[in-house]
Amino acid sequence: MLFHDAYLRRTPWELAFATAEGMDALPDAVRQEAHARGVDPRDAGSFLTLDCVTAFARAFRGPEAESSAWIEYGMLVYHAVHFMRPERSIVLVPTAVARELTAAPGPSGTPGLPAPAGYVQLPRHFFWIRPSAGRVAEPVDGWFWTADTAGNLHIMMIAGLREDRGGFVVVPVPEAPWAEAAEWSTAQVRPDGEDFRSTLPGGELGGICSIEMSGEALKLTARIFSRLAEPRGRLTQRGPSPEPEDEGPLRSALSYVRLEP
């Protein structure tokens, strides 16, 4: 099984929103409408009620945006808008670091929030998730995070990115108070068995991990952010990726930080 971490792959934001009509203007529209209504655009509930957000969703997704999937899609837009902030952070986690972060006891440092919003990209095909009961497992590309002004961290996991199909699968994680992040890092999440242990047939032989519970996503987030906060020179700042190599996954055009083992 191929784990890819040589460079930042094309992000879900680039795939879904970079060229979407109206996306460039949406952050300003959100700020203006939120100011006029006296609400906080970083509050997810308030964000989802904004007329400009609803209009964007309807134009982009059509009738589907008004279905039961509206909340999930609206939260994806929430993360996409805040991801456009200039102070965002994009973090690439290579395979060697992923193995370190999923082993006990994990980093000992205190997690530090690197930016109000951003995206974590994991090694391709290293982590797998079942989006819901009865569905097939999908490889996790990574997740968006956005911190609101009330101190909560919102995470939207992205899975199922494949060259042979359009779109991707979104798996929301319930919001959680960032003040408890240090506890996430050391928590035992699964009631039976080791956290991150593969639940796929032959997965352990293939060296892969599974994310079965929301707490595991929070635990891995806290450990990644702990590594980012360590002052021991394990970060390499990269500029925009060059053109794609033959047969390699599409490269991102965004700048990012790579965690080094």
Model pLDDT for residues 158-216, shown as the tens digit of each residue:
999 876 767 899 999 999 999 999 999 999 999 998 999 998 887 777 789 999 999 99
Query: Is the distance from CB of 255 to CB of 238 less than 8 angstroms?
Result: yes
Mind listing the pLDDT tens digit for each residue in 66-107? Answer: 565 778 889 999 999 999 999 999 999 999 999 999 998 877
How many other C-beta atoms can be found within 10 angstroms of the C-beta atom of residue 48? 17
Could you give the CA distance from residue 107 to residue 102 in angstroms, rounded to a whole number? 10
Nearest to 257 by CA among 226, 232, 228: 228
Q: Report the amino acid identity of residue 62.
A: G
**What pLDDT was estimated at residue 72?**
87
CB of 93 closer than 8 Å to CB of 120:
yes
**Mean pLDDT taken over the chain:** 89
Residue spans of the domains in the chain: they are 14-83, 87-259
pLDDT of residue 148 exceeding 90, the answer is: yes
pLDDT in tens, 20-63: 999 999 999 999 999 999 999 999 999 999 999 989 988 877 65
Buried b (16+ CB within 10 A) or exposed e, 166-192: eebbbbbbebbebeebeebbeeebeee
pLDDT computed for residue 244 by the predictor: 55
What pLDDT, on the 0 to 100 scale, is given for residue 63? 59
pTM: 0.93
Q: Which helix (H) or strand (E) holds 237?
A: strand 235-238
Cβ atoms within 10 Å of 63's Cβ, excluding its own: 7
The answer to whether 176 touches 150, Cβ cutoff 8 Å, is no
Which tokens hold the place of 203? Answer: 């997965």
Separation CA 143–CA 212 (nearest Å): 15
Residue 67: per-residue pLDDT: 60
